[in-house]
Chain A
Amino acid sequence: MSATEPKIKKKRKVSYLPSIISIGMVLFMLGLFGIILINGNKLQQYLKENFQLTVFFKDEVAEADMKRVMATMQQQEYTKRVVFVSKEQAAQQFSTEIGQDFVGFLGFNPLLPSVELFLKSSYTSPDKLKTVDIELRRNPEVQEVVYQQNILDEINKNVGTIGTVLISLSIIFLIISITVINNTIRLNLYARRFIIKSMQMVGATHWFIIKPFMFKSILHGLYGGIIACLLLLGVLSALPNWIGGIEALYDNTQFAILFVVVILVGIIISMMSSAFSTNHYLKLKIDDLY
C-alpha cells in the first residue's frame, strides 16, 4: 500500500463533508421549525387550559353540597382542574381588587360562593363549551355559569390562524428541505456521473450500481440528522436563557419524537434523491453526460 493512499482516502472522506454539513443545516432548520411547532402547540394548549368558567352556587346551598358538586365536576372528562372560592375568599379578592372594604361598607357580603372550572383544551370549542355550560346549569345548586365567550372566541380564532400559518410553513419548510437535500445529493452524483457510466459499461446492473450510492446517502442523511439533533439540543438548552419560563412548555417526549423524525427525514430524502439521481444518470446516453 502506498503512502499516498491514506491521504487520498482522507481527501475523499473530506469531500463528502460539505454535503453532510449542508444536509445537517437543512435538517436543523426543519428541526427548529419543529420546536416552534411543538412549543406553539403547547402554548395554544396552555392558553386554552387557562380559560376559566366560573360556576356560582346559590347562596343557600350548604358547603357539603357544594363540595359534592365540585367533586362531580372534578371527575368529568372535560375538567382539567377546579378551584373552590368561598364567599369569604371572593370578598377578600374583590376588596383587594377595588382597594376598599366593600363588605364593611354594605354591611353584608353579596358575593356567591363559586368554583373556577378550567377545561381541557379539547373542550374549549364553542359547541363543546355550550354543552358543558348546559350540563352545569342542570345542577339545582348552581345559580349561574359565567365565562367570557369573546376571549375564548379570540383565542380560538388566533389559534386557528396561527395553526394554518404553521401548517403552511411546515409544508414549505419540508419542500425546501427536500429540494436542498436533493440538490446536494444530485450535485454529488453529478460529479460522479462518468464513474456511474463507466460502471454501466463493464456490465454492472442498475441495482448493483445504485446500491452503494444509496447506502452512502443513507449514511450522509444519518450523519446530517445527528448534526442537526446536536444543534437542536444546543438551542433547547440555550433557549431558557433568552426566553424566561419557556422550559415550562418543553415536552421531552415530543422532542425525542422530533429528533427521530429529523433523522428519518434526512435518511429518507437522501436515500430517495440518491436512487433517483443515479437512475437518471444510468438512463442517460454517454453523449448526454457532457
Chain B
Amino acid sequence: MKYLSEKCTKLIGNKIMETVIDLTDVQIFQGHNLILSDVDVKIGQGEFVYLIGQTGSGKSSLLKTLYGEIKLEKGTGNIAGFDLTKLKPKDIPFLRRKLGIVFQDFQLLTDRTVFQNLSFVLKATGWKDDNKIKDRISRVLELVGLQTKDYKMPHELSGGEQQRVVIARALLNEPEIILADEPTGNLDPKVSDDIMNLLHNIAQQGTAILMATHDYRIIQKYPGRILKCAQGLVGEASSLNAIL
C-alpha cells in the first residue's frame, strides 16, 4: 500500500520541478543514538545532489532512512510519493521499486549472471512477459554500455563494469530517484569518470540522483548541488570551494 503524499513542486531557475524527496525537521537515529537532527532537504526531479561529510557523519544513515532501512521516527518525510513516517515493513519493497539504489560494494547477486541479476529485479517487481523482460534488459545494458556482457558472472567483470550493472539494475524500473552510496569508492579515477558521466546523463533525462561521496575531485569535475553532513546536521553548501 502506498502512502501518496501531495506532490510538492519547486521552482529552480525557470523550470518547475516536482519534488521527489522532501524531508522536514527530520531526526535520524541508529538504535538509540541520534545521528542527524533538524534535517530539511528537498530534491527535485532530475537534480544531481552530492551528499558529503566525514566517515560517520550520517550520510549513509540518511540514505538508509530514504530507502526504508532505518525507520523515520521524528519529522516528516516523503520520497517518490511514499510517506516515510507511515511506512510499514510490507510497504518497503514497493518503495524500493520506485528508487534505484547503488552501493559502493555493488551488492550484485553473485550466484547468477548479469542477465539473471537484471531479470530477477524485473520478475520481483511483477514483470511476466519474457520478451519484454529481454527487451528491457538489453535497453538498460545498452544505456550503460554492457550489451555484450549479459552472460557474464559478476566476478568475471571489472569493478567499473560491476558498478555499471548496478546502475543498469537501478534503471530497470525507471526510478524517480537514484540513491548512490559512494558508487565510485572502489573504482579508479578513469572508471569513476565513466560512472559519473553515466549518472549525469541519467540525471539529465529526469531521474534525480542523491550521491554520497568523499571524492572532491569528482564534485569539482561534475558540479552539482551539495549537501554536507557535519556535527549532526545537514546543511546546504554553496560550492565546493566554500567547503574547502
Residues of A in contact with B (beta carbons under 8 Å apart): 1-2, 4-5, 8, 12, 192, 194-195, 197-206, 208-209, 285-286
Contacts and interface: CB of A to CB of B under 8 A. Distances in A.
A199 B156 contact: no
A194 B110 CA distance: 9
Contacts of A204: 93, 120-121, 124-125
A129 to B, nearest CB: 64
B73 to A, nearest CB: 15
A205 B107 contact: no
Interface string B86-130: 000010011111000101000111110100000011011100000
Contacts of B107: 194, 197-198, 201
14 contacts: A2-B151, A8-B153, A192-B111, A198-B107, A198-B108, A199-B120, A201-B96, A201-B107, A202-B101, A202-B124, A202-B169, A208-B123, A285-B70, A286-B64
B70 to A, nearest CB: 8
Contact of A203 (B93, B108, B153): B93
Contacts, number: 63
Contacts of B153: 4-5, 8
Contacts of B110: 194-195
A208 B121 CA distance: 11
Contacts of A195: 109-111
Interface of B: 64, 67, 69-70, 90, 93-97, 101, 103, 107-111, 113, 120-121, 123-125, 151-153, 156, 169, 173
Given A1-B151, A285-B69, A203 B109 contact: no
Contacts of B125: 202-204
B69 A286 contact: yes
A208 B94 CA distance: 13
Nearest to A201: B101
Contact of A5 (B97, B103, B151): B151
A205 B108 contact: no
Nearest to A202: B121
Contact of B96 (A203, A208, A286): A203
A192 B110 CA distance: 9
Nearest to B103: A201
B81 to A, nearest CB: 14
A143 to B, nearest CB: 82
B156 A4 contact: yes
Contact of A199 (B70, B95, B124): B124
A164 B138 CA distance: 66
A202 B69 contact: no
Contact of A205 (B101, B113, B124): B124
Given A194-B107, A195-B109, A202 B151 contact: no
Given A4-B156, A202-B96, 4 more contacts: A2-B151, A195-B111, A197-B107, A203-B125
A2 B120 contact: no
Contacts of A285: 69-70
A3 to B, nearest CB: 10
A12 B90 CA distance: 32
B69 A203 contact: no
Q: Which 6 A-B pairs have the closest CB atoms?
A: A204-B124, A203-B97, A203-B96, A198-B107, A202-B121, A205-B93
A57 to B, nearest CB: 81
Nearest to A4: B156
A209 B101 CA distance: 18
Contact of B113 (A5, A201, A202): A5
Contact of B93 (A192, A194, A200, A286): A200
Contacts of B173: 203
A117 to B, nearest CB: 69
A12 B111 CA distance: 8
A202 B123 CA distance: 11
B93, B107, B109 pick with most chain A CB within 10 angstroms: B93
Nearest to B173: A203
Contacts of B151: 1-2, 5
B162 to A, nearest CB: 12
Nearest to A12: B111
A284 to B, nearest CB: 11
Contacts of A197: 107
A225 to B, nearest CB: 25
